Amino acid sequence: MNILEEIKDAACVGITGHVRPDGDCLGSTLGLYNYLKVNRPDLSVDLYLEQPGAEFSYLTGIDEILHTPKNVAYDVFIVLDCGSIDRIEPFTQCFEQAKKTICIDHHISSQNNDFADINLVKPEASSASEVLYTTFDEDKVNKAVAECIYTGIIHDTGVFKYSCTSAKTMEIAGKMMEKGIAYSDIIDNSFYKKTYVQNQILGRALLESVLFYDGKCIFSNVTRDEMAFYGVTGKELGGIIEQLRLTDGVEVAIFLYETGDHEHKVSMRSKKQIDVAKIAAEFGGGGHVRAAGFTGKGTVYSIVNKIGEMIERQYVDMSQ
């Protein structure tokens, strides 16, 4: 796919990504937004997303993101980094009213149900940003676009370390570096940087973590009271699951934070064997084989017990 070809007859284009935008969601949507701004100056482009985190403020165009849907019938509406239409709320009406829709994504097929008119879905790609880049003309990518693509790639690969990272991923990242981006700053400031309270709550979550299933699994949780005490939101708890995953001997890490009465947002990571996307799907969530999540009803222990049973079932299936 060449994205400029796909939209060549369009006068107005809308773009969105998934709810609670992460680095890849922002990198891919803003990457496309900036690419179209530069290479189709005649085009009217709107980008819709929820309010992004402050750590991404260096991305060009981030202040132009719209948070409420316009009542416009777009010639083309493009959804990135999103496998299902129910994850673009509250911008569904823009999608439904559009004359043509395109989805550019990397979620596995059981989660991407080809909901658009044209679907470019590459489950083997590291990130939606990587898939998007393949639709660009290389010589039309400027530094601002390169910063977005690079950001998307480092976030969905955990800075080039998850198994979704391929030689192709590195090649694209290298090309982005050649555009003169401040790659060390991007990695430090958008990925690794933690505020003082984020480090405090990370320390607390690690201190209270529990190993189970012969040390193959670990979980920890943060309550609403604790979040209020430290003055943090769910968005700021991002690094905790990653540190849990790194625990020696652990195959699956689970992190939960309370979002309501008997309701938790649950993240899971696995190293090599367990398919956490499959587990998340059973709870109505989604994600990737090694990184997935869902919103779970019940107490921390009831949710973790259910996940534990599913992990055990996968081990049993593997041994047969």
Q: Which is nearer to Mn ion, 24 or 258 (CB)?
A: 24
Minimum CB distance to Mn ion smaller for 33 or for 219: 33
| Beta pairing partners, 203 | none
> Which one of 16-24, 118-126, 174-182, 311-319 is the stretch in contact with Mn ion (CB under 5 A)?
16-24
Helix (H, G, I), strand (E, B) or coil at 105: strand
Binding piece for Mn ion, criterion CB under 5 A, among 74-82, 170-178, 195-203, 225-233: 74-82
Using CA atoms, how far residue 146 sits from 18, 185, 269, in Å, is 21, 14, 28
DSSP 3-state of 297: strand
Among the residue ranges 126-134, 205-213, 281-289, 291-299, the one whose residues contact Mn ion (CB under 5 A): 126-134
- Site track for Mn ion across 159-198, x = CB under 5 A: ----------------------------------------
- HSE-CB for 34 with a 13 A CA cutoff: 24
CB of 293 to Mn ion, least distance (A): 13
Name residue 78's beta-bridge partners: 15, 102
Strand-by-strand arrangement of the 44-48 sheet: 44-48, 12-16, 76-80, 100-105, 118-121
Contacts from 183-191 at CB under 8 Å and sequence distance 24+?
183/150, 185/58, 186/58, 186/147, 186/150, 186/151, 186/154, 187/154, 187/159, 189/55, 189/58, 190/23, 190/55, 190/56, 190/58, 190/151, 190/154, 190/155, 191/23, 191/154, 191/155, 191/159
Q: Which is nearer to Mn ion, 128 or 244 (CB)?
A: 128
Q: Residue 4 CB, nearest distance to Mn ion (Å)? A: 23
Candidates 12-20, 22-30, 143-151, 234-242; binding stretch for Mn ion (CB under 5 A): 22-30
Strands 291-297, 263-270: pairing kind: antiparallel
Is residue 46 involved in binding Mn ion (CB under 5 A)? no
Which one of the spans 4-12, 23-31, 229-237, 294-302 is the region binding Mn ion (CB under 5 A)? 23-31
251 touches Mn ion (CB under 5 A): no
Binding of Mn ion by 6 (CB under 5 A): no
User: Is position 81 an interface residue for Mn ion (rule: CB under 5 A)?
Assistant: yes
| Bridge-based pairing state of the strands 12-16 and 44-48 | parallel
Q: Decide if residue 156 touches Mn ion (CB under 5 A).
A: yes
- C-beta closer to Mn ion: residue 24 or 236: 24
SS3 63: helix
Residue 152 and residue 26 in contact, taking contact as beta carbons nearer than 8 Å: yes
Minimum Å gap between C-beta 75 and Mn ion is 26
Cα separation of 140 and 246, whole Å?
39
Half-sphere exposure of 99 (CA within 13 A, CB side): 12
Residue sitting closest to Mn ion (CB): 24
Q: How far is the CB of 298 from Mn ion (least distance, A)?
A: 28
State yes or no: residue 24 binds Mn ion (CB under 5 A). yes
Shortest Cβ 105–Mn ion spacing (Å): 8
- We find the least distance from the C-beta atom of residue 81 to Mn ion, in angstroms, to be 4
Catalog residues that contact Mn ion under the rule CB under 5 A: 24, 81, 127-128, 156
